Amino acid sequence: MPFNLKGRHFLTLKDHTSQEIDFLLQLSIKLKQDKYAGLRGKNLEGKNIALIFEKPSTRTRCAFVIACVDEGAHPEYLGKDDIQLGKKETVKDTARVLGRMFDGIQFRGFQHETVEGLAQYAGIPVWNGLTDRYHPTQVLADFMTVLEAKGKLQGIRFVYVGDGRNNMANSLMIGASKMGLDFRIVAPKVLFPAKELVKECQGFAEERNAKITITDDIATGVNAADVIYTDVWASMGEEAQIPERIKLLKNFQVNRSMFDQTGNPDCIFLHCLPAFHNTETKLAKQFPGICEVSEEIFESKHSQVFSEAENRVHTIKAVMVATLGK
């Protein structure tokens, strides 16, 4: 049964029911099939989409642009130095101006309050392309990839290892609790998620019998895992904390030994990307020991990270089509 998400924002996943998330995932699968079949959509024909980026992006930016063009919309990239937001103009005024010109707004940036402000005042759908607290469009691509690899979400043992209180950990916990997963965060105690968010997610978990476990014990955390997921140890804006995070998280690197501890030869590896998995990048050269995943696992048959990255297009397209499409 289709759900009417027209005109709705997409900010955290907290406001979406499990049926609505299911609907978005099924729509993403359909849009992927259509694209593979060479069918070009017109669901966003004539729409103008503002893409505001305070932080850099490869996947999210490209996914929004490609999804817009695939469905006939016009995307307009508004980088942090291109617009007045935050320097000469308030969030409220920017929202009202863009709301008079555009049909939808994507925001990627620092404070979650900014995307909430845009949503409050723009009068058009606003989609969160990552804030310091949440990254909900990424979760749709992650879950779509799990569906493709495992055929279901209910009961899947999904283990997030690393910085347990960043935007990915928060959003995955919300999504997993709504979709009935056996979700675990494995992290040092100082990087456990906020207690209030865990409590909120435990509330969501009841509807679909999801399970949430937060532990610093790697062996019990990864036992029988179907999915091991990690993210960078210091998120955008936290670069000054890299040395401290390396010390805190060095034993939590996703590597062969951790995969062996799952006892599941079919366990898959996911990562939102970008990832540190070798010493080829500038930051990795500057900070030896920064790798949250070993090169071996990143390049192994377990790794589904490039399907996951591709799925950003199909899932972001689904969000725009569902909230703004004809």
Catalogue the active-site residues. 108, 135, 138, 231, 272, 312
Closest CA to 184 of 208, 164, 167: 164
| Residue facing ligand NVA at closest CB distance | 235
Of positions 43, 60, 253, 304, contacts ligand CP by CB under 6 A? 60
User: Of residues 39-58, which lie at the interface with ligand CP (CB under 6 A)?
Assistant: 57-58
Of positions 27, 186, 234, 272, contacts ligand CP by CB under 6 A? 272
Closest CA to 98 of 113, 119, 71, 79: 119
Burial class (CB within 10 angstroms; exposed 0-12, middle 13-18, buried 19+) of 290: buried
Least CB distance to ligand NVA at residue 118 (A): 19
Q: Which residues contact 8 (CB under 8 A, 6 or more apart)?
A: 15, 125, 323
Cβ proximity to ligand NVA, 73 vs 168, nearer residue: 168
Q: Which two tokens stand for residue 5?
A: 């998400």
**DSSP states of 237-260 as a string?**
T-GGGHHHHHHHHGGG-B-HHHHH
Cβ proximity to ligand CP, 210 vs 268, nearer residue: 268
Cβ proximity to ligand NVA, 155 vs 274, nearer residue: 274
* Residue 235 touches which member of ligand NVA, ligand CP, none, C-beta under 5-8 Å by kind: ligand NVA
Q: Is the dihedral of CA 28, 33, 35, 40 positive or negative?
A: negative
Cβ proximity to ligand NVA, 18 vs 131, nearer residue: 131
* Residue 58 touches which member of ligand CP, ligand NVA, none, C-beta under 5-8 Å by kind: ligand CP
